[in-house]
Amino acid sequence: MKYYSLHHSSPVVDFKEAALRGQAPDKGLYFPSYIPTLSKQWLTDFPKLSKADIGFAVIQPYIGNTMPDDVLYQIIKETIDFHFPLIPISATISSLELFHGPTLAFKDVGARFMSRCLGYFANNQNGKTTVLVATSGDTGGAVANGFLGVEGVEVIILYPSGKVSAVQELQLTTCGHNISALEVSGSFDDCQALVKQAFMDIDLQRKYTLTSANSINVARWLPQQLYYFFALQAWADEKPPVIAVPSGNFGNLCAGLLAFKSGLPVKHFIAACNINDTVPAYLQTGQYTPKPAVPTISNAMDVAEPSNFVRIMEIFQQQVGNIKRYVSGYTIDDDTTKRTIASVHENYGYILDPHGAVAFYALELFLADHVGEKGFILETAHPVKFPETVEKIIGKKIPIPSAVAPLFEKQKKSISIPANFEVLKELLMNRD
């Protein structure tokens, strides 16, 4: 498998180089030269397979010969070593719970896979790789946990001050060792812009071997396909599901669409957004007009210019009409999100986090217009990550999972910087 830049002016590379670079030299995102097609027989048989076998079959074509098959199999086995339950909520909507990993967020899959790939590649080359990543919430904690202690790799995380939850902040600022956190006075888009500028800076390129752990990196993005397969493994209905994906930077939805193009049976996808509605507006009007990001209670989706939407455009030949055949966009405001958390808890006894609530309401709207269909949401984070919001709505405390409790005994450690690239560059250039 080769990867080309979506800016189309950089050489094609293999998976190893795409993962180590993160972004192509022409600043485009890497995209696979083709989307593998799974055989009809395999798609019939895969519900009976182990999750590791499913993962290997789906991912191996994207890896090619950049690592031995036995190494890849072990990486996948370690990556998905937790549960992915599909839990019924109502008669027509289920929840694919993706928060049973070590940091209680869906991003554990991509971060664990990428960290193990980079660890393998680092052991087979000289020098240190520096992972520079921006987070709007869960990416930071997942990356910090995934890369903690990985030899030959250091991680620098940029996060927006005051715009991540207390648990999210503790997860990315209390690791130490090879993990550093920079607290930026600004939005996630500011953090992402700083990271992009760093990748373009010649001086930093000379000092560091830089790569990104955001979903722009193929090693973070590609394994997110797997839990769509795990969900279909547990899907009991004869008709394919409608899947509502809480969408911020659009890597998760894009991975689902990749799985669909490989043959996974899905009826329709929903891009469930908060009021940062660049993509839903585009699907409605055909005009792509990003606006400054607005803070919401579903903070991980507070993204004005989703990086991965260019990949979705590539999947559908740059045609908005092609996208609209398979993807619908919905915009859900905070008041509706709060009402949804309250009503789902009252009616079904299920506790949604704010991101899952956005997806749930969007899926309800879609199903109301498509009688007879059923679907599931991606519940991307445990509600304990948003206690101030969720507990106030449902009127009771959320039990603290054992994976989170020790965080509250740790000391936050971060470096505060303005949303100014020259300040970031000086800090990075002066690091040992």
Q: From the CA atom positions of the chain, what is the Rg in Å?
A: 20
Amino acid present at 169: E
Identify whether the C-beta of residue 253 lies closer than 8 Å to the C-beta of residue 378: no
Residue 98 region by backbone torsions, left for phi larger than 0, else alpha for psi between -120 and 50, else beta: alpha
What pLDDT, on a 0 to 100 scale, did the predictor assign at position 377? 98
* 208 three-class SS: coil
- CA dist 245 and 398 (Å) reads 24
Nearest in space to 309 (alpha carbons), one of 267, 271, 350: 271
Nearest in space to 222 (alpha carbons), one of 270, 256, 186, 177: 256
* Cα pseudo-dihedral 359, 361, 362, 365, rounded to 10: 160
The residues assigned a catalytic role are 107
Domains of the chain: 83-105+221-394 (3.40.50.1100)
Nearest in space to 376 (alpha carbons), one of 91, 139, 82, 46: 91
What pLDDT, on a 0 to 100 scale, did the predictor assign at position 124? 67
What pLDDT, on a 0 to 100 scale, did the predictor assign at position 98? 97
Q: Please name every residue paired with 13 in a beta bridge, in sequence order, or none if there are none.
A: 3
- CA dist 25 and 169 (Å) reads 32
Beta strand spans in 39-152 (E): 86-88, 93-97, 129-134
What pLDDT, on a 0 to 100 scale, did the predictor assign at position 113? 96
What pLDDT, on a 0 to 100 scale, did the predictor assign at position 275? 96
Spell out the per-residue pLDDT of the chain, length 432, in tens.
999 999 999 999 999 999 988 889 998 999 999 999 999 999 999 999 999 999 999 999 999 999 999 999 999 999 999 999 999 999 999 999 999 998 899 989 999 999 999 888 877 666 688 999 998 777 888 888 888 988 888 999 999 999 888 888 998 899 888 999 999 999 888 998 999 899 889 999 899 888 888 788 999 999 999 999 999 999 989 999 999 999 988 999 999 999 999 999 999 999 999 999 999 999 999 999 998 889 999 988 998 889 899 999 999 999 999 999 999 999 999 999 999 999 999 999 999 999 999 999 999 999 999 999 999 999 999 999 898 899 999 999 998 888 777 888 888 999 999 999 999 999 999 987
- CA dist 258 and 44 (Å) reads 18
Locate 311 and state its tokens. 């990949």
269-287 as b/e, with b when 16 or more CB fall inside 10 Å? bbbbbbbbbbbbbbbeeee
Determine the length of the chain.
Answer: 432
